[in-house]
Structure 1
Amino acid sequence: MKNTEAAAIEASNTADKPATDWREIIRSGLWTNNPALVQLLGLCPLLAVTNTFINALGLAIATLLVLVVSNLTVSLVKQWVTKEIRIPVFIMIIASFVTIIQLLMNAYTFGLYLSLGIFIPLIVTNCAIIGRAEAFASKNAPLESAVDGLMMGLGFAVVLVLLGGAREILGQGTLFDGAHLLFGDWATSMKVQVFEFEQQFLLAILPPGAFIGMGLIIAIKNVIDAKQASKKQKQNKKVERARVTHVG
């Protein structure tokens, strides 16, 4: 009898919970709440390593993996972590996975490991990862937390590779230079010579180019958002006029 009552209560509680809005989670990570473009988190490694596409892609993959597994782990252990120690525990979880990723890169992609340098262990202090652990993973189920980490990681990765690709093309006239560092010796043939430069365009390669490129990407996003908001506002006005006309 008690088991039946407990099952009924659990079923009632489950029914009261709102259905997960997967579309909103995906849209939030990739666009509306993009950690790089909207929250402006993790900008230090983003601006520092995006001088080439491959460097940006390597850091993007590492950050995405850490986001997914740390979000999933935090969601699984949240019920045993008290509020007073949650942040240190979250950081320890993130640091553990970053160490694993660092050791794997050291073993299998040593050239890229050297190229990224200090920015691999600095993933631990990436506010985007800690922020998602605190704001989302600690309050949601494991599956939702893993998907949130994946979408946030993809949103961050898209900005990284866009900026890295643009800076490499403008600065060196190449694309996929150093692909062998990530994919192995066979990937040497992936290098594409887009332009021929007598001298490198240093503004694109150096830090000022990263700031300018990031500013342009944010500006483009803001323009798109403004156009979408204006279009939605016009549609709402048309609907209101149609209603008023119909009532009249």
Structure 2
Amino acid sequence: PVTIQVLGICSILAVTVQLRPSFVMALSVLVVMAFSNVVISLIRNTIPQRIRIIVQLTVIATMVILVDQILKAYMYDVSRQLSVFVGLIITNCIIMGRLEAFAMTNKPWPSFLDGIGNAAAYAAVLLGVAFFRELLGSGELFGVKVVPQFLYDIGYVNNGFMILPPMALITLGIFIWVQRHRNPDLVDAS
């Protein structure tokens, strides 16, 4: 959904400076999406059509609050680094889209797998962007120096522009271009 429908890009633009918070965000979205899909799938036949979006948002918000509290309890430093961005999972279009398009019409197990699959695709893009931004921006991966010192000695310099927010958008744009270049069927004919 991120590279095809360009959904859910807010967190990609916000948290991809380093891999660690990106990984935690990806895992958080995976948990929220998978379990929101299951809950909505379980109660889908009892939700009145007029208030289905309110119910879906309530389920997502509940899952996000649970994930946020777990992060605060067990990974406080990452929780502070992600701060408001975890709360923004509530408004992630991918989650709402999957609830509406899949969980509302399918049983719990397929809905769970749909949530896992879509969250994994989201995580792949999130971590891919974070990988290049952290590597080229600071010479690290997961906070560990990976660019050898001899490269710095012969003149290599980290690209400070990579850690600025515009590079998240540019990197994501490159991902989308590569995917659409490799698969022309994804290009909209309009």
Letter in 2 for 1:170: L
Whole-angstrom CA distance in 2 between matches of 1:70 and 1:194: 40
RMSD of aligned residue pairs (Cα, Å): 1.3
Whole-angstrom CA distance in 2 between matches of 1:61 and 1:159: 13
1:56 positional shift: 0.9
Counting matched residue pairs gives: 180
Alignment-derived partner of residue 176 in structure 2: 218
Alignment-derived partner of residue 74 in structure 1: 40
Tell me, yes or no, if the aligned pair for 1:55 and 1:164 is still in contact at 8 Å.
no
Letter in 2 for 1:158: A
1:89-238 pair list within 5 angstroms: 89-177=55-143, 191-196=144-149, 200-226=158-184
Question: Runs in 1 of length 4+ with deviation above 6 angstroms?
Answer: none
1:235-246 pair list within 5 angstroms: none
Unaligned runs of 5+ in 1: 1-34, 178-190, 230-248
1:128 positional shift: 0.6
TM-score if structure 1 supplies the norm length? 0.70
Provide the identity percentage: 35
1:202 positional shift: 2.1
Task: Decide which structure has the larger Cα Rg and report it.
Answer: 1
Unaligned runs of 5+ in 2: 186-190
Are 2:7 and 1:44 equivalent residues in the alignment? no
1:131 positional shift: 0.9
Whole-angstrom CA distance in 2 between matches of 1:220 and 1:106: 37
Whole-angstrom CA distance in 1 between matches of 2:119 and 2:146: 29
Letter in 1 for 2:147: V
TM-score if structure 2 supplies the norm length? 0.91
Are 2:17 and 1:59 equivalent residues in the alignment? no
